[in-house]
Structure 1
Amino acid sequence: MASVQQFDEEKSEPAGEVSEDELFDVLANQRRRFAVHLLKREDQDTLRIGDMAEQIAAWENGIETTEITGPERKRVYTALQQSHLPKMDDAGVVEFNKDRGIIEPTSALQDVDLYMDIVEGREIPWSTYYLGLSGVALALAGAVWLDAWPFVLLPNMAWMTAIVVAFTFSAITHKYYTAKMKVGEPDEPPGLT
Protein backbone atom coordinates (compact mmCIF):
# COMPACT_ATOMS: atom_id res chain seq x y z
CA MET A 1 0.00 0.00 0.00
CA ALA A 2 2.85 2.35 0.82
CA SER A 3 4.42 1.81 -2.59
CA VAL A 4 1.16 2.72 -4.37
CA GLN A 5 0.86 5.90 -2.30
CA GLN A 6 4.51 6.75 -3.04
CA PHE A 7 3.87 6.25 -6.77
CA ASP A 8 0.81 8.53 -6.64
CA GLU A 9 2.77 11.24 -4.85
CA GLU A 10 5.57 11.04 -7.41
CA LYS A 11 3.05 11.17 -10.28
CA SER A 12 1.29 14.24 -8.88
CA GLU A 13 4.49 16.27 -8.60
CA PRO A 14 5.04 18.80 -11.35
CA ALA A 15 7.21 17.60 -14.17
CA GLY A 16 10.85 18.59 -13.92
CA GLU A 17 13.14 19.26 -16.78
CA VAL A 18 12.88 16.94 -19.73
CA SER A 19 16.14 15.39 -20.88
CA GLU A 20 17.32 16.02 -24.44
CA ASP A 21 17.02 12.31 -25.22
CA GLU A 22 13.39 12.24 -24.09
CA LEU A 23 12.58 15.39 -26.01
CA PHE A 24 14.23 14.13 -29.19
CA ASP A 25 12.35 10.86 -28.77
CA VAL A 26 9.08 12.78 -28.53
CA LEU A 27 9.97 14.86 -31.60
CA ALA A 28 11.12 11.84 -33.61
CA ASN A 29 7.55 11.07 -34.68
CA GLN A 30 5.57 13.35 -37.00
CA ARG A 31 2.27 12.72 -35.23
CA ARG A 32 3.81 13.76 -31.89
CA ARG A 33 5.31 16.85 -33.56
CA PHE A 34 1.83 17.70 -34.82
CA ALA A 35 0.50 17.25 -31.26
CA VAL A 36 3.20 19.56 -29.88
CA HIS A 37 2.44 22.13 -32.57
CA LEU A 38 -1.26 22.02 -31.81
CA LEU A 39 -0.75 22.32 -28.06
CA LYS A 40 1.55 25.31 -28.48
CA ARG A 41 -0.80 26.89 -31.02
CA GLU A 42 -3.94 26.67 -28.91
CA ASP A 43 -4.48 29.38 -26.36
CA GLN A 44 -5.99 27.00 -23.84
CA ASP A 45 -4.84 25.24 -20.69
CA THR A 46 -6.22 21.91 -21.89
CA LEU A 47 -7.16 20.19 -25.12
CA ARG A 48 -9.51 17.28 -25.68
CA ILE A 49 -8.05 14.24 -27.41
CA GLY A 50 -10.92 14.19 -29.92
CA ASP A 51 -10.16 17.73 -31.06
CA MET A 52 -6.46 16.90 -31.33
CA ALA A 53 -7.15 13.73 -33.32
CA GLU A 54 -9.41 15.60 -35.71
CA GLN A 55 -6.85 18.32 -36.49
CA ILE A 56 -3.93 15.89 -36.81
CA ALA A 57 -5.96 13.65 -39.13
CA ALA A 58 -6.72 16.68 -41.29
CA TRP A 59 -3.02 17.65 -41.46
CA GLU A 60 -1.96 14.09 -42.26
CA ASN A 61 -4.49 13.79 -45.07
CA GLY A 62 -4.03 17.32 -46.40
CA ILE A 63 -7.71 18.19 -45.96
CA GLU A 64 -9.90 20.43 -43.83
CA THR A 65 -11.23 19.08 -40.53
CA THR A 66 -14.77 19.06 -41.95
CA GLU A 67 -13.70 16.56 -44.63
CA ILE A 68 -12.26 13.90 -42.29
CA THR A 69 -13.84 10.47 -42.37
CA GLY A 70 -14.62 8.48 -39.25
CA PRO A 71 -11.90 5.87 -39.89
CA GLU A 72 -9.25 8.59 -40.47
CA ARG A 73 -10.13 10.27 -37.18
CA LYS A 74 -10.38 6.99 -35.28
CA ARG A 75 -6.97 5.81 -36.53
CA VAL A 76 -5.30 8.98 -35.20
CA TYR A 77 -7.37 8.99 -31.99
CA THR A 78 -6.41 5.40 -31.17
CA ALA A 79 -2.71 5.98 -31.85
CA LEU A 80 -2.72 9.16 -29.74
CA GLN A 81 -4.54 7.50 -26.85
CA GLN A 82 -2.58 4.25 -26.79
CA SER A 83 0.90 5.33 -27.79
CA HIS A 84 1.78 8.95 -28.47
CA LEU A 85 0.18 10.81 -25.57
CA PRO A 86 1.32 8.28 -22.92
CA LYS A 87 4.86 8.60 -24.31
CA MET A 88 4.64 12.40 -24.17
CA ASP A 89 3.24 12.14 -20.62
CA ASP A 90 6.08 9.85 -19.55
CA ALA A 91 8.60 12.33 -20.99
CA GLY A 92 6.96 15.15 -19.02
CA VAL A 93 5.96 17.24 -22.05
CA VAL A 94 2.23 16.90 -21.32
CA GLU A 95 -0.06 15.61 -18.64
CA PHE A 96 -2.48 13.17 -20.24
CA ASN A 97 -5.61 12.13 -18.35
CA LYS A 98 -6.65 9.07 -20.33
CA ASP A 99 -9.93 8.60 -18.43
CA ARG A 100 -11.14 12.14 -19.17
CA GLY A 101 -9.46 12.42 -22.59
CA ILE A 102 -7.75 15.67 -21.61
CA ILE A 103 -4.24 16.78 -22.57
CA GLU A 104 -2.57 19.53 -20.57
CA PRO A 105 0.76 21.02 -21.69
CA THR A 106 3.53 21.28 -19.10
CA SER A 107 6.15 24.00 -18.76
CA ALA A 108 8.61 21.65 -20.51
CA LEU A 109 6.63 22.14 -23.72
CA GLN A 110 8.09 25.65 -23.98
CA ASP A 111 11.60 24.15 -24.38
CA VAL A 112 10.61 22.35 -27.57
CA ASP A 113 11.47 25.34 -29.78
CA LEU A 114 15.12 24.97 -28.83
CA TYR A 115 15.24 21.56 -30.50
CA MET A 116 13.21 22.24 -33.63
CA ASP A 117 16.03 23.23 -35.99
CA ILE A 118 14.57 21.03 -38.69
CA VAL A 119 16.81 20.26 -41.63
CA GLU A 120 14.99 18.93 -44.65
CA GLY A 121 16.32 17.25 -47.76
CA ARG A 122 19.81 18.35 -48.77
CA GLU A 123 19.93 21.40 -46.51
CA ILE A 124 22.75 21.92 -44.04
CA PRO A 125 22.24 22.91 -40.41
CA TRP A 126 22.54 26.61 -39.69
CA SER A 127 25.42 26.01 -37.30
CA THR A 128 27.43 24.39 -40.11
CA TYR A 129 26.50 27.21 -42.48
CA TYR A 130 27.71 29.89 -40.05
CA LEU A 131 30.91 27.96 -39.39
CA GLY A 132 31.59 27.85 -43.15
CA LEU A 133 30.73 31.53 -43.56
CA SER A 134 33.12 32.39 -40.72
CA GLY A 135 35.87 30.37 -42.42
CA VAL A 136 35.33 32.23 -45.70
CA ALA A 137 35.32 35.58 -43.88
CA LEU A 138 38.55 34.67 -42.06
CA ALA A 139 40.24 33.62 -45.31
CA LEU A 140 39.06 36.81 -47.02
CA ALA A 141 40.31 38.99 -44.14
CA GLY A 142 43.65 37.16 -44.24
CA ALA A 143 44.00 37.66 -48.00
CA VAL A 144 43.18 41.37 -47.67
CA TRP A 145 45.63 41.76 -44.78
CA LEU A 146 48.40 40.07 -46.84
CA ASP A 147 47.61 42.31 -49.86
CA ALA A 148 47.06 39.25 -52.06
CA TRP A 149 45.97 39.80 -55.65
CA PRO A 150 43.05 40.42 -56.67
CA PHE A 151 42.06 41.62 -53.19
CA VAL A 152 44.26 44.72 -53.53
CA LEU A 153 42.02 45.99 -56.33
CA LEU A 154 39.39 47.18 -53.84
CA PRO A 155 39.95 49.12 -50.61
CA ASN A 156 40.08 47.12 -47.36
CA MET A 157 36.86 48.75 -46.17
CA ALA A 158 34.98 47.32 -49.18
CA TRP A 159 35.99 43.79 -48.24
CA MET A 160 35.06 44.29 -44.59
CA THR A 161 31.70 45.72 -45.69
CA ALA A 162 31.18 42.61 -47.86
CA ILE A 163 31.77 40.38 -44.83
CA VAL A 164 29.32 42.36 -42.69
CA VAL A 165 26.71 42.28 -45.47
CA ALA A 166 27.14 38.50 -45.86
CA PHE A 167 26.57 37.93 -42.13
CA THR A 168 23.64 40.37 -42.02
CA PHE A 169 21.95 38.77 -45.03
CA SER A 170 22.52 35.30 -43.50
CA ALA A 171 21.08 36.38 -40.16
CA ILE A 172 17.96 37.87 -41.79
CA THR A 173 17.47 34.69 -43.86
CA HIS A 174 17.97 32.52 -40.77
CA LYS A 175 15.46 34.62 -38.78
CA TYR A 176 12.88 34.29 -41.57
CA TYR A 177 13.46 30.54 -41.90
CA THR A 178 13.18 29.84 -38.16
CA ALA A 179 10.06 32.00 -37.85
CA LYS A 180 8.46 29.92 -40.61
CA MET A 181 9.42 26.71 -38.78
CA LYS A 182 8.23 27.86 -35.34
CA VAL A 183 6.10 25.33 -33.54
CA GLY A 184 2.73 26.56 -32.34
CA GLU A 185 2.19 29.36 -34.82
CA PRO A 186 -1.37 29.81 -36.16
CA ASP A 187 -0.55 28.21 -39.50
CA GLU A 188 0.11 24.59 -40.34
CA PRO A 189 2.86 22.76 -38.47
CA PRO A 190 6.44 22.64 -39.80
CA GLY A 191 6.81 19.95 -42.42
CA LEU A 192 3.48 20.71 -44.13
CA THR A 193 4.24 24.24 -45.32
Structure 2
Amino acid sequence: MSEDTDDSPLTQDQIFHLLQNERRRAVLRYLAQTDEDSVRMRDVAEQVAAWENDTTVQQLHSDERQRVYIALYQTHLPKLDDEGVIEYNQSRGIVAPTAHAAQLYPFIETDSHDAATSTQETAEFADGPEAPDEGADNDLAWSNYYLGLSSASALLLGATSLSLVPAALISSYLLSVLTVAAFGITALGQRFL
Protein backbone atom coordinates (compact mmCIF):
# COMPACT_ATOMS: atom_id res chain seq x y z
CA MET A 1 0.00 0.00 0.00
CA SER A 2 1.23 3.48 -0.85
CA GLU A 3 2.64 5.57 1.93
CA ASP A 4 2.45 8.71 -0.19
CA THR A 5 -0.17 10.96 1.39
CA ASP A 6 0.43 13.89 -0.96
CA ASP A 7 -2.92 15.58 -1.65
CA SER A 8 -1.64 17.75 -4.50
CA PRO A 9 -3.30 17.05 -7.85
CA LEU A 10 -1.63 14.77 -10.35
CA THR A 11 0.50 16.53 -12.94
CA GLN A 12 -0.29 16.33 -16.63
CA ASP A 13 2.73 14.06 -17.15
CA GLN A 14 1.56 11.71 -14.38
CA ILE A 15 -1.92 11.55 -15.88
CA PHE A 16 -0.61 10.77 -19.36
CA HIS A 17 1.78 8.15 -17.99
CA LEU A 18 -0.93 6.41 -15.97
CA LEU A 19 -3.44 6.45 -18.81
CA GLN A 20 -1.04 5.25 -21.50
CA ASN A 21 -1.77 1.61 -20.63
CA GLU A 22 -5.13 0.07 -21.60
CA ARG A 23 -5.26 -2.21 -18.55
CA ARG A 24 -4.82 0.72 -16.16
CA ARG A 25 -7.57 2.57 -18.02
CA ALA A 26 -9.78 -0.50 -17.70
CA VAL A 27 -9.14 -0.67 -13.94
CA LEU A 28 -10.14 2.98 -13.64
CA ARG A 29 -13.22 2.38 -15.81
CA TYR A 30 -14.25 -0.44 -13.47
CA LEU A 31 -13.72 1.73 -10.38
CA ALA A 32 -15.67 4.63 -11.94
CA GLN A 33 -18.63 2.34 -12.59
CA THR A 34 -18.86 0.81 -9.13
CA ASP A 35 -20.66 2.33 -6.17
CA GLU A 36 -18.51 0.46 -3.65
CA ASP A 37 -15.81 2.13 -1.56
CA SER A 38 -13.51 -0.84 -2.15
CA VAL A 39 -13.60 -3.87 -4.42
CA ARG A 40 -11.91 -7.23 -4.61
CA MET A 41 -8.91 -7.30 -6.91
CA ARG A 42 -10.22 -10.57 -8.35
CA ASP A 43 -13.45 -8.87 -9.46
CA VAL A 44 -11.47 -6.10 -11.17
CA ALA A 45 -9.21 -8.62 -12.94
CA GLU A 46 -12.16 -10.71 -14.14
CA GLN A 47 -14.00 -7.71 -15.57
CA VAL A 48 -10.87 -6.36 -17.27
CA ALA A 49 -10.24 -9.80 -18.78
CA ALA A 50 -13.85 -9.98 -19.99
CA TRP A 51 -13.52 -6.56 -21.67
CA GLU A 52 -10.22 -7.52 -23.28
CA ASN A 53 -11.65 -10.78 -24.63
CA ASP A 54 -14.99 -9.25 -25.62
CA THR A 55 -16.96 -11.69 -23.52
CA THR A 56 -18.68 -11.96 -20.14
CA VAL A 57 -17.03 -12.82 -16.84
CA GLN A 58 -18.94 -16.12 -16.79
CA GLN A 59 -17.57 -17.16 -20.21
CA LEU A 60 -13.91 -16.39 -19.47
CA HIS A 61 -11.34 -19.16 -19.72
CA SER A 62 -8.97 -19.64 -16.80
CA ASP A 63 -5.91 -18.65 -18.87
CA GLU A 64 -7.62 -15.37 -19.89
CA ARG A 65 -8.35 -14.60 -16.22
CA GLN A 66 -4.86 -15.57 -15.08
CA ARG A 67 -3.04 -13.51 -17.71
CA VAL A 68 -4.83 -10.33 -16.66
CA TYR A 69 -4.74 -11.15 -12.94
CA ILE A 70 -0.95 -11.57 -12.95
CA ALA A 71 -0.36 -8.34 -14.89
CA LEU A 72 -2.62 -6.35 -12.56
CA TYR A 73 -1.17 -7.98 -9.43
CA GLN A 74 2.48 -7.50 -10.36
CA THR A 75 2.48 -4.28 -12.37
CA HIS A 76 -0.58 -2.13 -12.89
CA LEU A 77 -2.22 -2.01 -9.47
CA PRO A 78 1.11 -1.38 -7.67
CA LYS A 79 1.79 1.45 -10.17
CA LEU A 80 -1.61 3.05 -9.51
CA ASP A 81 -1.01 2.61 -5.77
CA ASP A 82 2.47 4.19 -5.96
CA GLU A 83 0.98 7.23 -7.71
CA GLY A 84 -1.74 7.53 -5.05
CA VAL A 85 -4.62 6.82 -7.45
CA ILE A 86 -5.76 3.75 -5.53
CA GLU A 87 -5.09 2.12 -2.20
CA TYR A 88 -4.09 -1.44 -2.98
CA ASN A 89 -3.84 -3.95 -0.18
CA GLN A 90 -2.01 -6.67 -2.07
CA SER A 91 -2.10 -9.24 0.73
CA ARG A 92 -5.89 -8.95 1.17
CA GLY A 93 -6.62 -8.38 -2.52
CA ILE A 94 -8.57 -5.16 -1.96
CA VAL A 95 -8.59 -2.10 -4.22
CA ALA A 96 -10.03 1.28 -3.20
CA PRO A 97 -10.01 4.44 -5.33
CA THR A 98 -8.61 7.65 -3.86
CA ALA A 99 -9.40 11.28 -4.66
CA HIS A 100 -6.75 11.13 -7.40
CA ALA A 101 -8.78 8.45 -9.18
CA ALA A 102 -11.60 10.96 -9.59
CA GLN A 103 -9.12 13.27 -11.33
CA LEU A 104 -8.61 10.56 -14.00
CA TYR A 105 -12.26 9.58 -14.51
CA PRO A 106 -13.02 12.34 -17.05
CA PHE A 107 -10.52 10.71 -19.40
CA ILE A 108 -12.04 7.23 -19.10
CA GLU A 109 -15.00 6.09 -21.18
CA THR A 110 -17.66 4.64 -18.90
CA ASP A 111 -21.33 3.82 -19.27
CA SER A 112 -22.15 5.80 -16.15
CA HIS A 113 -20.13 8.90 -16.99
CA ASP A 114 -21.68 11.64 -19.12
CA ALA A 115 -19.89 11.54 -22.49
CA ALA A 116 -20.45 15.24 -23.16
CA THR A 117 -18.80 16.20 -19.89
CA SER A 118 -15.90 13.86 -20.56
CA THR A 119 -15.33 15.27 -24.03
CA GLN A 120 -15.48 18.85 -22.78
CA GLU A 121 -13.11 18.23 -19.87
CA THR A 122 -10.68 16.30 -22.08
CA ALA A 123 -10.57 19.13 -24.63
CA GLU A 124 -10.08 21.74 -21.87
CA PHE A 125 -7.30 19.68 -20.27
CA ALA A 126 -5.41 19.22 -23.51
CA ASP A 127 -5.98 22.86 -24.52
CA GLY A 128 -6.95 21.52 -27.92
CA PRO A 129 -9.32 23.33 -30.28
CA GLU A 130 -11.45 20.31 -31.11
CA ALA A 131 -13.08 17.50 -29.17
CA PRO A 132 -11.69 13.97 -29.62
CA ASP A 133 -14.88 12.74 -31.32
CA GLU A 134 -14.48 15.33 -34.09
CA GLY A 135 -10.91 14.18 -34.71
CA ALA A 136 -12.05 10.55 -34.96
CA ASP A 137 -14.52 11.46 -37.74
CA ASN A 138 -11.79 13.42 -39.52
CA ASP A 139 -9.39 10.45 -39.31
CA LEU A 140 -12.05 8.19 -40.81
CA ALA A 141 -12.51 10.56 -43.77
CA TRP A 142 -8.74 10.64 -44.40
CA SER A 143 -8.48 6.86 -44.15
CA ASN A 144 -11.20 6.55 -46.81
CA TYR A 145 -9.25 8.96 -49.00
CA TYR A 146 -6.04 6.93 -48.58
CA LEU A 147 -7.93 3.72 -49.35
CA GLY A 148 -9.31 5.22 -52.56
CA LEU A 149 -5.89 6.52 -53.57
CA SER A 150 -4.34 3.09 -52.94
CA SER A 151 -7.07 1.37 -54.96
CA ALA A 152 -6.67 3.75 -57.90
CA SER A 153 -2.88 3.31 -57.83
CA ALA A 154 -3.19 -0.49 -57.72
CA LEU A 155 -5.64 -0.50 -60.65
CA LEU A 156 -3.41 1.75 -62.74
CA LEU A 157 -0.35 -0.35 -61.89
CA GLY A 158 -2.23 -3.55 -62.75
CA ALA A 159 -3.47 -2.11 -66.04
CA THR A 160 0.06 -1.00 -66.96
CA SER A 161 1.55 -4.38 -66.00
CA LEU A 162 -1.02 -6.23 -68.13
CA SER A 163 -0.38 -3.85 -71.04
CA LEU A 164 -3.98 -2.64 -70.92
CA VAL A 165 -2.56 0.88 -70.94
CA PRO A 166 -0.05 1.41 -73.75
CA ALA A 167 3.49 1.86 -72.45
CA ALA A 168 3.79 4.99 -74.57
CA LEU A 169 1.11 6.72 -72.46
CA ILE A 170 2.58 5.97 -69.04
CA SER A 171 5.85 4.35 -68.02
CA SER A 172 6.27 2.45 -64.77
CA TYR A 173 8.72 5.15 -63.64
CA LEU A 174 6.14 7.89 -64.24
CA LEU A 175 3.48 5.78 -62.51
CA SER A 176 5.76 5.40 -59.47
CA VAL A 177 6.48 9.13 -59.37
CA LEU A 178 2.79 9.99 -59.65
CA THR A 179 1.83 7.52 -56.91
CA VAL A 180 4.49 8.79 -54.50
CA ALA A 181 3.54 12.40 -55.26
CA ALA A 182 -0.16 11.69 -54.72
CA PHE A 183 0.48 10.10 -51.33
CA GLY A 184 2.90 12.88 -50.35
CA ILE A 185 0.42 15.62 -51.25
CA THR A 186 -2.35 13.78 -49.41
CA ALA A 187 -0.20 13.39 -46.29
CA LEU A 188 0.69 17.10 -46.37
CA GLY A 189 -2.99 17.92 -46.77
CA GLN A 190 -3.90 15.79 -43.78
CA ARG A 191 -1.12 17.31 -41.70
CA PHE A 192 -1.95 20.95 -42.40
CA LEU A 193 -5.72 20.92 -43.04
Normalising to structure 2: TM-score of the pair? Answer: 0.54
Which residue is equivalent to 1:47?
Answer: 39
Please state how far the C-alpha of 1:15 moved relative to its aligned partner: 4.7
Taking the aligned partners of 1:94 and 1:128, their CA distance within structure 2 comes to: 32
Is the CA contact (8 Å cut-off) linking 2:27 and 2:44 kept in structure 1?
yes
Q: Alignment partner for residue 89 of structure 2, among 73, 92, 97? A: 97
Please state how far the C-alpha of 1:18 moved relative to its aligned partner: 1.9
Please state how far the C-alpha of 1:113 moved relative to its aligned partner: 3.6
Which residue is equivalent to 1:84?
Answer: 76
Query: Are 2:109 and 1:108 aligned?
Result: no
Is the CA contact (8 Å cut-off) linking 2:49 and 2:68 kept in structure 1?
yes
User: What letter corresponds to residue 28 of structure 1 in structure 2?
Assistant: Q
Taking the aligned partners of 1:54 and 1:108, their CA distance within structure 2 comes to: 23
Which residue is equivalent to 1:128?
Answer: 129
Please state how far the C-alpha of 1:14 moved relative to its aligned partner: 6.1
Query: Which protein has greater RCO, CA pairs closer than 8 Å, 6+ apart?
Result: 1
Is the CA contact (8 Å cut-off) linking 2:85 and 2:100 kept in structure 1?
yes
Which residue is equivalent to 1:38?
Answer: 30
Query: Are 2:19 and 1:18 aligned?
Result: no
Which residue is equivalent to 2:159?
Answer: none
Residues 102, 70 of structure 1: CA spacing in aligned structure 2 closer, same or farther, 3 A cutoff? same
Q: How big is the alpha-carbon RMSD for the aligned residues of Structure 1 and Structure 2?
A: 2.8
Normalising to structure 1: TM-score of the pair? Answer: 0.54
Question: In the TM superposition, what whole-angstrom CA distance separates every residue of 1:112-146 from its partner, at most 9, and x where no partner exists?
Answer: 1444578xxxxxx893338xxxxxxxxxxxxxxxx
Taking the aligned partners of 1:60 and 1:12, their CA distance within structure 2 comes to: 31
Residues 113, 104 of structure 1: CA spacing in aligned structure 2 closer, same or farther, 3 A cutoff? closer
Please state how far the C-alpha of 1:19 moved relative to its aligned partner: 2.0
Taking the aligned partners of 1:23 and 1:12, their CA distance within structure 2 comes to: 17
Unaligned runs of 5+ in 2: 109-117, 120-125, 135-193
Moved over 6 A (4+): none
Please state how far the C-alpha of 1:23 moved relative to its aligned partner: 1.6
Unaligned runs of 5+ in 1: 1-7, 119-124, 131-172, 175-193
Fraction of identical pairs, as percent:
36
Query: Are 2:29 and 1:28 aligned?
Result: no
Residues 29, 11 of structure 1: CA spacing in aligned structure 2 closer, same or farther, 3 A cutoff? same
Q: How many residues align?
A: 118
> Within 5 Å, which residues of 2 pair with 1:134-145?
none
> Within 5 Å, which residues of 2 pair with 1:173-184?
none
Taking the aligned partners of 1:12 and 1:23, their CA distance within structure 2 comes to: 17
Please state how far the C-alpha of 1:26 moved relative to its aligned partner: 1.0
Taking the aligned partners of 1:36 and 1:127, their CA distance within structure 2 comes to: 24
Q: Alignment partner for residue 50 of structure 2, among 58, 78, 84? A: 58
